[in-house]
Amino acid sequence: MSQDAALGTRKQIDAGVLNVGYADLGPVDGAAVILLHGWPYDIHSYAEVAPMLAAAGYRVIVPHLRGYGSTRFLSDDSVRNAQQSAIGVDTIDLMDALGIDRAIVAGFDWGARTANIVAALWPERCKCMVSVSGYLIGSPAANAAPLPPRAELGWWYQFYFATERGRLGYAQNLRAFNRFIWELASPKWRFDDATFERTAASFDNPDHVDIVIHNYRWRLGLAPGEPRYAELERQLAEGPTITVPTITLEGDANGAPHPDPSAYASKFTGTYEHRTIAGGVGHNLPQEAPQAFVDAILDVDT
């Protein structure tokens, strides 16, 4: 176990194909909240959010996704696969391992997509949801359609990662590359070196490069998924609606590619609200605007 001033003692547990590193805050008998990070971030995106929710009486679980931090594959033979459904299954496996039947699920970036997947495919396990940038479920087939030139420019790193030069460049320049993404995605966030380095340690995971490269290549149909997830991907490719109570969030200065809220409102067929968070808030919304993120969780759970 490791200790962190903000997130407490880090724990490890076998769950599915992984040994998952996670923070566990708040009363063990509190209503569960699972907070999911994205790329290139880690559990410290919730360094302020998690303690606030714990103080409100929730049991807060913040896992490192596969390829980040202290999370490891249990077998050297496991495919270093980061297709969207695999990360969704990881979340259900973690809930099973922790004995959590039902949870509030919240996230941003990869974490928002994963929250969407849990809510869409396992609504009985998801009490309600908070999702930054709304509805992010997709498929390689849908991603095959070209975007207008300006929109394509926003995905430059995805095309870079499609090349072996991109894999090598990412591996050789992890910290510089990911700091650059932070600056582009949150142009008004004035984070310091210590804040970045606290998260950057999670990129030293031995599977990190493989996981990131696979995720973006899979999205473009350039890398295969695993057969075990084929049926789940078939369901996700249909764009399933989400029935659980949901609040979606968007920062007013998000520099990363993201859909307009009007494009996804119809995907939420239960109680639904969208909030735009003002004040120069970028892509890493829970770390940049922790109170707004906490308020959304408290409000959706009513």
Average pLDDT over residues 99-113: 98
Closest CA to 23 of 199, 6, 184, 15: 6
> 3-state SS string over the chain?
CEEECCCEEEEEEEECCEEEEEEEECCCCCCEEEEECCCCCCHHHHCCHHHHHHHCCCEEEEECCCCCCCCEECCCCCCCCCCHHHHHHHHHHHHHHHCCCCEEEEECCHHHHHHHHHHHHCHHHEEEEEEECCCCCCCHHHHCCCCCHHHHHHCHHHHHHCCHHHHHHHHHCHHHHHHHHHHHHCCCCCCCHHHHHHHHHHHHCCCHHHHHHHHHHHHCCCCCCCHHHHHHHHHHHCCCCECCCEEEEEECCCCCCCCCHHHHHHHECCCEEEEEECCCCCCCHHHHCHHHHHHHHHHHCC
The residues facing 131 across adjacent strands are 107, 248
Is residue 237's pLDDT more than 80?
A: yes
Is residue 124's pLDDT more than 70?
A: yes
Closest CA to 187 of 225, 216, 152, 154: 154
pLDDT tens readout for residues 34-84: 999 999 999 999 999 999 999 999 999 999 999 999 999 999 999 999 999
pLDDT of residue 5: 73
Is residue 1's pLDDT more than 60?
A: no
Average pLDDT over residues 163-181: 98
pLDDT of residue 6: 82
pLDDT of residue 4: 73
Is residue 210's pLDDT more than 70?
A: yes
Contacts of 3 (CB under 8 A, 6+ apart): 9, 10
The pLDDT mean for the chain works out to 97
Alpha carbon 282 to chain centroid, angstroms: 15
Alpha carbon 152 to chain centroid, angstroms: 22
Measured in degrees and rounded to the nearest 5, phi and psi for residue 152 equal -60, -35
Is residue 239 within 8 A of residue 143, CB to CB? The reply is no
Average pLDDT over residues 88-101: 98
CATH number of 2-300: 3.40.50.1820
Share of the chain above pLDDT 90, in %: 97
pTM: 0.97
Is residue 300's pLDDT more than 60?
A: yes
Is residue 3's pLDDT more than 60?
A: no
Q: How far apart are CA 267 and CA 9, in angstroms?
A: 38
Alpha carbon 231 to chain centroid, angstroms: 22
